[in-house]
Structure 1
Amino acid sequence: MEKIILLLTESSLETVPKELLNDPVIIKDAKRRDVNPKYLILDRARHHRAMIRLVNAEKRGRPDIVHQALLLIQGSLLARNKLVKTYIHTINDLVIDVDPEIRPPRNYDNFIGLMSQLFEVGRVPPVGKPLMKIVSGINYVLSMELPDRKILLDDVRGKELSLRSFIDYVRNFKRPLVMIGAFPRGSFEERTYWLADDVVKIGKYVMDTSSILCRLLTVLEIELGLIT
């Protein structure tokens, strides 16, 4: 395996949708953060009352899932050895290209501020080498990375494999693309299933994004000799 490409898929990361921009909860939070409401990051912890009427609300407003995932991936030994490349695919079908060298802010509020800037400007930082940038979509990932296998990790439709069997399988490919959902509940869109060559479930239990990543990254690091 030359490199593993991780796509945080249908991530619960978005700016406040236009139908909520005039909601008092949103206006108050935008003023407090000194952010234009159009670029305020939707967050259920702060915007729950406003989100009640949103379509697909149970799947939205959890940017903390992306934050935790990025901290795990970008802080891994795989990242330090340039063996992993990260992309974020959002629930609104945007794709964010994450520079392999970025170390995301550990403070959540700082991360949210960075994401607001990213959605406003299209990249962070605004000048110089971009550490994150919004790109055209999943086809960008496929054309840039040329993965030789596209694997979706899903608890609903996935074929059950042990973690060891999954790692052995992934290592058969030079540049596998592994898609991991980064939303709190609900199902993948059909277009995500169509994209995958394989749909796999690791073990018998439903695991959240961070739990899957912890296991996947650690076992890969052991198998590749990065941890002895």
Structure 2
Amino acid sequence: MEHLVILLMESSLETIPKELLGDPVIIRDARRMRREPRYLILDRARHHSAMIKLSNAEKRGRPDIIHQALLTIQSSLLVRNGFIKTYIHTIGNVIIDVDPEVRPPRNYNNFIGLMSQLFKEGRVPPVGKPLFKILGGDVKYVFNAERPDRKILLDDVKGREITMGDFINYLMSFRVPLIMIGGFPRGSFSDGTYSLADDVFKIGKYTMDTASILCRILSSLETRLGILI
């Protein structure tokens, strides 16, 4: 394996939808945060009552999932040794390029501020080398840029059960495997996401959150590659 591509799919990361911009909850929060309402990051912890009117609400407003996933990925020994490239696909169909050298803020509020700036400016920081950059809305951009020789979707609903050991062996058989993993709290992937995958797996018998399964996969790979001994 030359390197692994991680694509956080249908991630619960977005700015305030147009239909909520006039909601009193959003207006009060924008004043408190001293930001324009349209560049606030939708967060169920702060915007729950406003989100009730949204379609597909159960999959939205959880940027903390992406924060935890990025902390797990970007602090791994695999990233430090050049084995990982990460992208985020949002529920609003936006692709975000994550620089391998980025170290996300550990403070959640600082992370939210960074994401707000990203959606406003299209990149962070606005000048110099971008640590996060919005590329557009087509997942195929990632496929064209990385040229993966296998696209694997991890899914607890439709995935074929596989042990962690067999999964790691399978990953290692490819030059540039790509793992798609959900960046949302509950619900199913869209039909379009399933159609992108060559394989759909569920690792083990237990349902695990995004950061937990990533931690186990990355740790197993670090051991298999001899990075962590």
Write the deviation string for residues 79-117 of structure 1: whole angstroms up to 9, x where unpaired: 000100000000011100000000000000000000000
Query: What is the aligned partner in structure 2 of residue 86 from structure 1?
Result: 86
Write the deviation string for residues 51-70 of structure 1: whole angstroms up to 9, x where unpaired: 01110001000000000000
- The amino acid across from 1:158 in the alignment is G
| CA–CA separation in structure 2 for the residues paired with 1:159 and 1:218 | 22
- State the SS of the aligned residue for 1:157: coil
Unaligned runs of 5+ in 2: none
Query: What is the aligned partner in structure 2 of residue 210 from structure 1?
Result: 211
| CA–CA separation in structure 1 for the residues paired with 2:36 and 2:53 | 22
Q: CA deviation at 1:176?
A: 0.4
Query: What is the aligned partner in structure 2 of residue 102 from structure 1?
Result: 102
- State the SS of the aligned residue for 2:112: helix
Query: What is the aligned partner in structure 1 of residue 179 from structure 2?
Result: 178
> TM-score if structure 2 supplies the norm length?
0.99
Q: CA deviation at 1:139?
A: 1.4
Stretches of 4+ moved more than 3 A in 1? none
| CA–CA separation in structure 1 for the residues paired with 2:72 and 2:35 | 28
Q: CA deviation at 1:188?
A: 0.1
Q: How do residues 21-40 of structure 1 correspond to structure 2 at under 5 angstroms? A: 21-40=21-40
Q: CA deviation at 1:211?
A: 1.0
Q: How do residues 1-228 of structure 1 correspond to structure 2 at under 5 angstroms? A: 1-136=1-136, 137-228=138-229
| CA–CA separation in structure 2 for the residues paired with 1:117 and 1:40 | 9
- State the SS of the aligned residue for 2:96: strand
- The amino acid across from 1:68 in the alignment is Q
- The amino acid across from 1:163 in the alignment is M
- State the SS of the aligned residue for 1:170: helix
- State the SS of the aligned residue for 1:222: helix
The percentage of aligned residue pairs carrying the same residue is: 68
Write the deviation string for residues 147-194 of structure 1: whole angstroms up to 9, x where unpaired: 000000000110100011100001100100000001000000000000
> TM-score if structure 1 supplies the norm length?
0.99
| CA–CA separation in structure 2 for the residues paired with 1:56 and 1:187 | 11
| CA–CA separation in structure 1 for the residues paired with 2:208 and 2:68 | 14
Q: CA deviation at 1:143?
A: 0.9
- State the SS of the aligned residue for 1:6: strand
Write the deviation string for residues 129-152 of structure 1: whole angstroms up to 9, x where unpaired: 001100022111011100000000
